[in-house]
Amino acid sequence: MTSITITRPDDWHLHLRDGKQLRSVLPHTARQFARAIIMPNLKPPIVTTEMALAYRAQILAALPETLYGSFNPLMTLYLTENTSPSEIIRAKESKAIQGIKLYPAGATTNSDAGVTDITKCYTTLETMEQNNLPLLVHGEVTDTNIDIFDREKVFIDRILAPLTQRFPNLRIVFEHITTRDAVMFVKETSKSIAATITAHHLLLNRNAIFQGGIRPHYYCLPILKREIHRQALLNAATSGNPKFFLGTDSAPHAQTNKENACGCAGIFTAHAAIELYATAFEQAGALDKLEAFASFYGADFYQLPRNSSHITLKKEHWIVPEKFGFANEKLIPLYAGENLTWKMT
Ligand code: NCD
Ligand code: ZN
């Protein structure tokens, strides 16, 4: 196959940051995707509808003129132990907010304001269930006694499984799943739960972090896992099961904050997102499954219309730039300086 045309995809998990950083990264996403679910982990986090609407206006104002009107940011609120049921109603009524994000406190970048005790959120979760507003979950426990490679599995057992039992009609997106355990859990649990999968977790296993030295640009959370888990993710993504769909988790950090004694978690993939997924699907011999994963199942789960426009990918060798501008700093993209074989026209 030398060319494929698919319905324009959506990115169901994206970090855009704000200010000048936002202006640097937004065009990468808006060029490829019609819509994206925008993560609320800014400093300070987006905790009210009012803040989310202001952030949305900031994103729209940051779009380059050529992309104006062609990209729709779908907003989220950051769940805290103080998020009130009335805030949930306001969020729902705004129509701009498509989900509420649960970060276990301390799990990842800018998550200090996250949830320590999920039982404190029960009334709010009940309101979400009643109002059909999905919960988006960063599924890792933060207990430092738990091995970093086991944090997703332990989260399923301790938090997620009980949550799905207590709130059977709450729609849940288990974000950026990284393990075979998560794949099995999502498959076997009710139709209320679905999962996003990143391109980097489809393409890489944990060896990438330690290839000939320590490689900070392969460090993200949840951390890359063993090959058996990558295989399970690839099988899920290419299986045609509508519970699994695209979410890049593209998470830009300045080069200086990555190449650091305590480097930030996050991999930037927005520069070549759909091409990276195409590469993974091609390796699995499943390019025919790319369109539904990238463009149908996410919209269906979020109960939004599918896109009507199309994009075309061509088999063409190109070299990923070594770096991009990022406000006043530099941003190192995934596969910087390396060859890719698919290119969006
Ligand atoms: C994300 C970020 O940098 O905001 N980092 C990451 O490694 N994925 C936060 C997150 O989604 O966990
Ligand atoms: Zn993320």
Q: What is the pLDDT of residues 9-38, one digit of tens each?
A: 999 999 999 999 999 999 999 999 999 999
pLDDT, averaged across the chain: 97
The string of pLDDT tens digits covering residues 299-342 is: 999 999 999 999 999 999 999 999 999 999 999 999 999 999 99
User: From CA 145, how far away is CA 128, in angstroms rounded?
Assistant: 32
**Residue 5 Cα, ligand 1 centroid: separation in angstroms?**
30
Mutate to test the pocket of ligand 1, among 21, 42, 103, 109 (most ligand atoms within 8 A of CB): 109
**Model pLDDT, residue 183:** 98
Nearest atom within ligand 1 for CA of residue 219: 7
* Orientation angle between helical segments 122-131 and 85-94, nearest 10 degrees: 30
> Residue of the nearest CA to atom 5 in ligand 1?
266
Residues with CB under 6 A from ligand 1: 15, 41, 108-109, 138, 220-221, 249, 251, 265-266
The partner residues of 115 in beta bridges, in order of sequence, read 104
Closest ligand to 43 CA? 1
Q: Above 90 in pLDDT, residue 110? A: no
Nearest atom within ligand 1 for CA of residue 249: 8
> Which of left, alpha, beta for 335 (phi over 0: left; psi -120 to 50: alpha)?
left
The partner residues of 72 in beta bridges, in order of sequence, read 35
Q: Above 80 in pLDDT, residue 242? A: yes
**Model pLDDT, residue 202:** 99
Domain made up of 10-308: CATH architecture: Alpha-Beta Barrel (3.20)
**Residue 176 Cα, ligand 2 centroid: separation in angstroms?**
7
**Residue 265 Cα, ligand 1 centroid: separation in angstroms?**
6
Nearest atom within ligand 1 for CA of residue 13: 11
Judged on CB neighbours under 10 Å (0-12, 13-18, 19+), 143 is: middle
The string of pLDDT tens digits covering residues 183-221 is: 999 999 999 999 999 999 999 999 999 999 999 999 999
**Residue 15 Cα, ligand 2 centroid: separation in angstroms?**
6
SS (H, E, C) the chain: CCEEEEECCCEEEECCCCHHHHHHHHHHHHHHCCEEEECCCCCCCCCCHHHHHHHHHHHHHHCCHHHCCCCEEEEEEECCCCCCHHHHHHHHHHCCEEEEEECECCCCCCCCCCECCHHHHHHHHHHHHHHCCCEEECCCCCCCCCCHHHHHHHHHHHHHHHHHHHCCCCCEEECCCCCHHHHHHHHHCCCCEEEEECHHHHHCCHHHHHCCCCCHHHCCCCCCCCHHHHHHHHHHHCCCCCCEEECCCECCCCHHHHCCCCCCCCCCCHHHHHHHHHHHHHHCCCHHHHHHHHHHHHHHHCCCCCCCCEEEEEEEEEECCCCEEECCEEECCCCCCCEEEEEEC
37 near 12, Cβ under 8 Å?
Answer: yes
**Residue 4 Cα, ligand 1 centroid: separation in angstroms?**
31
Mutate to test the pocket of ligand 1, among 12, 15, 43, 103 (most ligand atoms within 8 A of CB): 15
**Model pLDDT, residue 209:** 98
Mutate to test the pocket of ligand 1, among 249, 260, 332, 334 (most ligand atoms within 8 A of CB): 249
**Model pLDDT, residue 1:** 82
Q: Above 80 in pLDDT, residue 76? A: yes
**Model pLDDT, residue 193:** 98
**Model pLDDT, residue 113:** 83
In the chain, where the domains are located: 10-308
Q: Above 90 in pLDDT, residue 111? A: no
**Model pLDDT, residue 13:** 98
> Residue of the nearest CA to atom 11 in ligand 1?
249
Instruction: Tell me the backbone φ, ψ of residue 41, rounded to 5 degrees.
Output: -85, 60
Active site residues: 249
**Model pLDDT, residue 112:** 77
User: From CA 187, how far away is CA 201, in angstroms rounded?
Assistant: 18
**Model pLDDT, residue 78:** 97
Q: Above 90 in pLDDT, residue 108? A: no
> Residue of the nearest CA to atom 9 in ligand 1?
109
pTM here is: 0.98
Long-range Cβ contact pairs of 80-84 (< 8 A, separation 24 or more): 80/45, 80/47, 80/113, 80/114, 80/115, 81/115, 81/116, 81/117, 81/120, 81/121, 82/47, 83/47, 83/121, 83/124, 84/124
- Parallel, antiparallel, or unpaired for β 135-137 and 97-102? parallel
**Model pLDDT, residue 215:** 98
Closest ligand to 263 CA? 1
Q: Above 80 in pLDDT, residue 237? A: yes
Nearest atom within ligand 1 for CA of residue 107: 12
**Residue 117 Cα, ligand 2 centroid: separation in angstroms?**
21
User: From CA 42, how far away is CA 264, in angstroms rounded?
Assistant: 14
**Model pLDDT, residue 104:** 93
142 near 107, Cβ under 8 Å?
Answer: yes
* Orientation angle between helical segments 49-62 and 85-94, nearest 10 degrees: 30
* CA angle in degrees (0–180, nearest 5) for 83-96-84: 10
Q: Above 80 in pLDDT, residue 107? A: no
The string of pLDDT tens digits covering residues 115-145 is: 999 999 999 999 999 999 999 999 999 999 9
Closest ligand to 267 CA? 1
Nearest atom within ligand 1 for CA of residue 265: 7
